[in-house]
Amino acid sequence: MKRFRRHGHESQRDRLKQELFQFTKTVEHGFPHQPSALGYSPSLQLMAIGTRSGAIKLYGAPGVEFMGLHDENAAVTQVFFMPHQVELVTLLDDNSLHMWTLRGHKGLSELLEIGRFLLTGPPGAPPSVTRVTAVLAHSSGELLLLGTEGGHVFIVEVPGFRELEERNISLEQVTSCVPDDYIGRRNLEHVEALQENPINSNQVAVGYGRGLMVIWDLQQRHAIRHIPATQQLESMWWTEDGSSILSSHSDGSYCCWTLRAEDESEEEEKSDVPYGHFPCKAITKIVQLPTAGGPPFLLFSGGMPRASYGDRHCITVIHSKTQVAFDFTSRIIDFFVIRDGSQHTGEPSALVVLVEEELVVIDLQTDAWPIIQTPYLVPLHSSAITCSHHVSAIPLKLWERIIAAGVVQNTHYSKKPWPIRGGQNLAPDPPQRDLLLTGHEDGTVRFWDASGVCLYPLYKLSTAAVFNADADLNDNMSQSAEGEWPPFRKVGCFDPYSDDPRLGIQKIHLCKYSGYLTVAGTAGQILMLELNDEAAEQTVEAKVVDLLQGQEGFRWKGHTQLDVREEPVLFPPGFQPFTVVQCQPPAVVTALTLHSEWKLVAFGTSHGFGVFDYLQKNNVLVKCTLNPSDQLAMEGPLSRVKSIKKSLRQSFRRIRRSRVSLRKHHISSTTKIQEANARLEAELAEMELAPVQRKIEARSSDDSFTGLVRTLYFADTFLSDSSHNTPSLWAGTNGGSVFAYILSIPPLEHRADDVVTAQPAKEIQLMHRAPVVGIVVLDGHGAPLPEPLETAHDLARSPDMLGSHHVLVISEEQFKVFTLPKVSTKMKLKLTAVDGSRVRRVGVAWFGSSRTEDYGESGLVFLTNQGDVHVLSLPHVKMQVRYPCIRREDVSGIASCVFTKQGQGFYLMSPSEFERFSLSTRYLVEPRCLVEAPLQLVSSNQHQPKLEGASSALRSTQDTEDAESAARRVMEHALLNDEKVLQEIQKSLEGDQMSFPENNVKSSVA
């Protein structure tokens, strides 16, 4: 009977787990890693970015995001939206074409791949014949023109990807209508560019690499005229009135060719080299857009003088008498211009530039052409991220003060709204305000709004002003000097170079109730900061803490400390430092925690830990944890070669010890020795082949960095006896030691005068000496203790002080619960001994039920070195769920993971992107958006000349395709009459057209 009861209880628990836990990768924050292509749809107002890893990402209004991934591990080289449709085409560097669509599903849009195509040439033809180099999405929405390396232009019908062989433009047809004196012995080379006549869709311009441009009539299937440029062609642009074509070339020149009547002879145009007579780099793209009653805008990328500015990444904008060479921080991928008006043919309003490390948007309608701040795609890695810290449920008052401090920093941005506004964001408003703080290599801390889909920058704190660090020599290069030529203007915020690596931020802790912030850095510096709404000039007081406590025989071989400025420093509104605690030796700070109610901050390095009273500005506790054999801890982070040598020595010593121990056994027979050796070899082979089955090996006390402090924790609990709770500090080290200290905090009225004292209370040494990565005290109900000031603000239940408390010690290898105050083992859960994993990151989270609002559980969330995320129940420490999250090879991603209080997490999937995931069924932050087809624009297409070739090709095919043509005509009529009829026809068309194999249609995260 007991067995059946237990089975019923387990099934009930399984149902409860399904209501509490669910693993979802929800959204990717930041800037795509290694972007390689850019596309834009004026009718949808959506932007598409392709990457070298085969990802395709769509962005519209803030919160409207879609993501797809090609099956092929190939880079996206070009992205094109089909005009006035919700389809787009991608070209990969393996020469495959893919069509994607935004299809509605349950009231939301999702990005789906609906077809793929590989261009095939005649039998025996070399691959260059079909290697696609240029793509033109025809304005009819029914054709793709594909220019190839062999000089041919293939015409393909979409969405079915059917090649219209009789309409292809072959190289032989082109050469036959070009004068022999132009061609001579020269090859025309590949098709470099394709452009459609804006006023006659039957005409396209084909530009060849050698420089020749041919205007081809798609309806009559012959060349109308040729433009005999002699320089290597880079790009073309057909002006909006159809009267001329601009060509840009590899020598840094561009040329305007006026298209005369057919009976007039073609005149050679004079080329213009905008940046002087010295050799210039190629102008890779050129665009000219008209303005109402004024001169046009001319924009081009490249063209810089090769010798002087060949390393600059520039886009030049010329309008009237104004010319600016925007100097970007990294290589330009592509750019486009957004225009005003319902038909998007009005005044140019914004220049959108995708460079390798960021997206820059320039306001072209405001004087001085300022930058528009991006609400997404912000480069998180403008300086390399070194740590991160998440704070949930920020009080409104603190939130508004942080935003106000950030607004002061952003006065140089344009006041214009974000110009890319496609789609509808249907996600509900975030239930709370969340902050993500990132520490960076240049000593800055950036505050991000992590409440919703967009990771939006709020405020940036710089700590460099506190120290006598080298000044940034590039600060004055943002604006060009008067009369300088070219007229450079630096734009973009990507700046990966740090003046001083010692400024790097390693640990962050923010108290959301008091507004106190503490940050710790690479050179042992701990800064205490307080939020101030006004600018203030003040001197920062420095305090030195000697963690070695006068021990002799140790000499620090690493970097020196940073020197604090002695003179007053003017700090802008925001977080302002008032004290710097400097550890000696100035090693990297490895642990940090803040208790704003007690006005204490605790910090740890590889040499020990300390507690500092930031109200009275004096030391409360200093403890040296250095082991006499920890010579490596004195070498600093720049001496890693010796550590490798030492680890190799230790490995050889262990092997020798294991062999000696085998010899010590009294083995009389040689067969027994052989058996023992065979067993040893088998065990070694098993360890190599199946590392997840290895056992825990007790670590030697002479292992390196045993004294490194991994975790610090403040708790009000029972340490001296079971009837009196006292403030305490807990510290865990790399060698498996836990130190507990009782803190004597004076009453509030005497807190400013009486000193805080600390005395040792308990010490725990884990048997296997595994590094301690987390400590949590559980109250009488088995719940984790609330944060400082959380109960004072009525935001958490007061901890139970009547029942007995427990302390949960989390090491890399196991979870162990001790009773308090006796510190005796109550229960433990082994991890490494079971599956070979080691705990890397740990956090406490609250999981709410998806079925009932009033039920939830606390759980311990941890990430292992295998990349798996686990949830343990509290206080029983039982495994609940396990999900694969990060690739085990992605060591930096695992190290960067941070958990939230609501069961979500962030990790760096690349240097510039955070992947957000959720383990909770209740708390999900994911894009929920809808993109509708631009129905009103279909009627405007009817005014354009009808491309008869496409429809005649359709009429000459099978009966099913005749039905599709008829359905299209009916749908056009329905657009102007009944939307419901339109929806029904669209469904039927989708059923007919999308009859692809199921494995060719794959869903992606919207």
**959-975 and 979-993 helices cross at what angle (nearest 10)?**
160
Q: In this structure, how many other beta carbons lie within 10 angstroms of the beta carbon of residue 742?
A: 16
pLDDT score of 698? 52
627-659 pLDDT tens trace: 776 666 666 654 444 455 556 666 666 665 555
- Round to the nearest angstrom and report the end-to-end CA distance of the chain: 49
Residue 460: beta bridge partners?
Answer: 446
393-408 pLDDT tens trace: 999 999 999 999 999 9
pLDDT score of 117? 93
56-106 pLDDT tens trace: 999 999 999 999 999 988 999 999 999 989 999 999 999 999 999 999 999
264-270: long-range contacts, CB 8 A cutoff, minimum separation 24: 266/225, 266/226, 266/227, 266/228, 268/228
Contact present, 520 and 589 (Cβ < 8 Å): yes
Burial of 495 (0-12, 13-18, 19+ CB in 10 A): middle
DSSP label at 694? P
pLDDT beyond 50 at 975: no
Highest-confidence range of 182-191, 343-352, 391-400, 551-560, by mean pLDDT? 391-400
329-364 burial: b if 16+ Cβ within 10 Å, else e? beebbbbbbbbeeeeeeeebbbbbbbbbbbbbbbbb
pLDDT score of 916? 96
Cα dihedral sign, 44-50-54-56: negative
953-956: long-range contacts, CB 8 A cutoff, minimum separation 24: 953/157, 953/164, 953/166, 953/167, 954/157
Which of 3-12, 299-308, 559-568 has the least mean pLDDT? 3-12
Percentage of the chain exceeding pLDDT 70: 81
Cα dihedral sign, 316-317-320-322: negative
Which of 412-416, 762-766, 851-855 has the least mean pLDDT? 851-855
Query: How far apart are the C-alpha atoms of 433 and 391, rounded to whole Å?
Result: 9
Q: Mean pLDDT, to the nearest integer, of 540-562?
A: 89
Which of 240-254, 458-472, 928-942, 960-974 has the least mean pLDDT? 960-974
Is-cis flag, bond preceding 127, omega within 30?
Answer: no
453-494 pLDDT tens trace: 999 999 999 999 999 876 444 444 445 555 678 899 999 999
Q: Which residue do the tokens 């203030």 mark?
A: 536
CA triplet 947, 948, 953: central angle to 5 degrees?
115
Which phi and psi angles does 790 have, rounded to 5°? -70, -45
250-272 pLDDT tens trace: 999 999 999 876 645 455 567 89
Is-cis flag, bond preceding 691, omega within 30?
Answer: no
Query: How far apart are the C-alpha atoms of 133 and 152, rounded to whole Å?
Result: 10
Alpha helical stretches, state H, 321-462: 396-409
Which phi and psi angles does 224 have, rounded to 5°? -85, -45
Residue 262: beta bridge partners?
Answer: none
740-767 pLDDT tens trace: 999 999 999 999 999 999 999 999 999 9
Cα dihedral sign, 426-429-431-433: positive
- Among residues 212, 119, 123, 136, which one has the least CA distance to residue 174? 212
796-812 pLDDT tens trace: 788 888 889 999 999 99
664-711 pLDDT tens trace: 444 444 555 555 555 555 444 444 333 333 444 455 444 568 899 999
The torsion of the CA quartet 685, 691, 697, 702, rounded to 10 degrees, works out to 100
942-945: long-range contacts, CB 8 A cutoff, minimum separation 24: 942/972, 944/139, 944/201, 945/200, 945/201, 945/202
Query: How far apart are the C-alpha atoms of 898 and 840, rounded to whole Å?
Result: 11
- Pick 988 or 87 by higher pLDDT: 87
Query: How far apart are the C-alpha atoms of 234 and 249, rounded to whole Å?
Result: 5
Q: What six digits make up the tokens of 258? A: 């006026």
- Among residues 475, 493, 464, which one has the least CA distance to residue 380? 493
Which phi and psi angles does 673 have, rounded to 5°? -65, -45
What's the whole-number average pLDDT of the chain?
85
In the chain, what's the furthest Cα-to-Cα distance? Answer: 110
Query: How far apart are the C-alpha atoms of 221 and 170, rounded to whole Å?
Result: 11
Q: How confident is the model at residue 599 (pLDDT cuts 50, 70, 90)?
A: very high
Q: Which segments within 340-442 are labelled E, that is strand?
A: 348-355, 359-363, 371-372, 385-391, 424-425, 435-440
pLDDT beyond 70 at 885: yes
Mapped to the 3 state alphabet, what secondary structure does 491-560 carry?
CCCCCCCCCCHHHCEEEEEECCCCCEEEEEECCCEEEEEEEECCCEEECCEEEEEECCCCCCCCCCCCCC
- Among residues 749, 736, 730, which one has the least CA distance to residue 611? 730
| Full DSSP string of 738-757 | EEEEEEEPPPGGGTTTSPPE
Contact present, 403 and 458 (Cβ < 8 Å): yes
Burial of 629 (0-12, 13-18, 19+ CB in 10 A): middle
Report the half-sphere exposure of 319 (CA within 13 A, side-chain side): 21
Total-model pTM? 0.85
Which of 162-171, 471-480, 556-565, 794-803 has the least mean pLDDT? 471-480
Q: In this structure, how many other beta carbons lie within 10 angstroms of the beta carbon of residue 832?
A: 22
793-849 pLDDT tens trace: 777 788 888 889 999 999 999 999 999 999 999 999 999 877 789 999 999 999 999
Label the pairing between strands 574-584 and 541-546: parallel
**Amino acid in the structure at residue 704:** S
Q: Mean pLDDT, to the nearest integer, of 578-606?
A: 96
833-836: long-range contacts, CB 8 A cutoff, minimum separation 24: 833/695, 833/696, 835/692, 835/866, 836/691, 836/692, 836/693, 836/694, 836/866
Percentage of the chain exceeding pLDDT 90: 66
Q: In this structure, how many other beta carbons lie within 10 angstroms of the beta carbon of residue 121?
A: 16
Contact present, 346 and 340 (Cβ < 8 Å): yes
pLDDT score of 955? 34
Q: Mean pLDDT, to the nearest integer, of 555-571?
A: 92
Burial of 752 (0-12, 13-18, 19+ CB in 10 A): exposed
Cα–Cα distances in Å, from 722 out to 719, 803, 922? 8, 9, 38
**Amino acid in the structure at residue 957:** T
DSSP label at 381? T
pLDDT beyond 50 at 951: no
Q: Which residue do the tokens 């109550």 mark?
A: 826
Q: Which residues, including other chains, have CB under 8 Å from residue 581's CB and lie 6 or more apart?
A: 525, 526, 528, 542, 543, 544, 545, 601, 603, 610, 612
pLDDT score of 462? 95
Which phi and psi angles does 653 have, rounded to 5°? -65, -40
296-338 pLDDT tens trace: 999 999 999 999 999 999 999 999 999 999 999 999 999 999 9
Q: Which residues, including other chains, have CB under 8 Å from residue 936's CB and lie 6 or more apart?
A: none
Cα–Cα distances in Å, from 724 out to 314, 749, 763, 802? 69, 21, 19, 10
Q: Which residue do the tokens 């803030």 mark?
A: 62
Query: How far apart are the C-alpha atoms of 821 and 764, rounded to whole Å?
Result: 12
